Amino acid sequence: MKTTPRGRFITFEGIDGAGKSTQIARLADALRARGLEVLRTREPGGTELGEKLRDLLLDMAMHVDTEAMLMFAARREHLAAVIEPALAAGAWVLSDRFTDATYAYQVGGHGLAAARCDALEAWVHPGFSPDLTFLFDLPSAVAAARVAATGADPDRFERERRDFFERVRAAYLERARREPGRFRVLDATRPPDGIAADVAAGLAEKAWL
């Protein structure tokens, strides 16, 4: 019996305003043009329950433990209902954020003990991590200016101060340093075409296509 090859799980990370969404859309189009099944999703969110949790998380002040547990609750649902079935069916799953974001925002930004995040990760997805993670890196001042330029009302995270985003950025870079095989760090201050070329190069290195 022929078995379907497992799909690929690619995540996109970075501080708010890094320009991930544009690049996720471009990569999804490029992969679909090659005949691949692609699923675009996001965290927190990706399921009906997850999107409700997202509304709460982006709006209401809460204890950092609560914040981390709700992020992982949404993630558990997302994995079970969306990510795992799609990968099993051979799709390429492109997720705007995953567990690295909890380490960066809750541990790095809000001071959650890393051991608590480790415990939640070990509960929710032991032994599972993205196949490839693109980290969109840029100074917080540049990112903040981009968020302000959208004119949209900032959410609870986007209202954080500059030093919060510098801690988040540092936490992301530290994770990338520890797992160089999984991460590809991109200079997100570059124009979109340049970043798209870097994303394509990151994929080419993996020789999956």
Residues in touch with ligand TMP (CB under 6 A): 16, 42-44, 71, 96-97, 101-102, 105-106, 157
The Cα–Cα gap between 128 and 106 comes to 20
DSSP string, 103-151: IIIIIIIT---HHHHHHHHHHHSTT---SEEEEEE--HHHHHHHHHHT-
| Cα Rg of the chain, angstroms | 17
Distance of alpha carbon 23 from alpha carbon 76, whole angstroms: 25
Residue with smaller CB distance to ligand TMP, 4 or 22: 22
Closer by beta carbon to ligand TMP, 97 or else 167: 97
What is the smallest separation between the CB atom of 35 and ligand TMP, expressed in angstroms? 28
Instruction: Tell me the closest approach of the beta carbon of residue 204 to ligand TMP, in angstroms.
Output: 26
**Cβ distance to ligand TMP smaller for residue 72 or 92:** 72
The rounded distance, in Å, linking the Cα atoms of 61 and 2 is 50
How near is the Cβ of 36 to ligand TMP at its closest, in Å? 24
Smallest gap from Cβ 209 to ligand TMP, in A, equals 27
Q: Which is nearer to ligand TMP, 123 or 208 (CB)?
A: 123
Quick one: tokens of 49? 């329950």
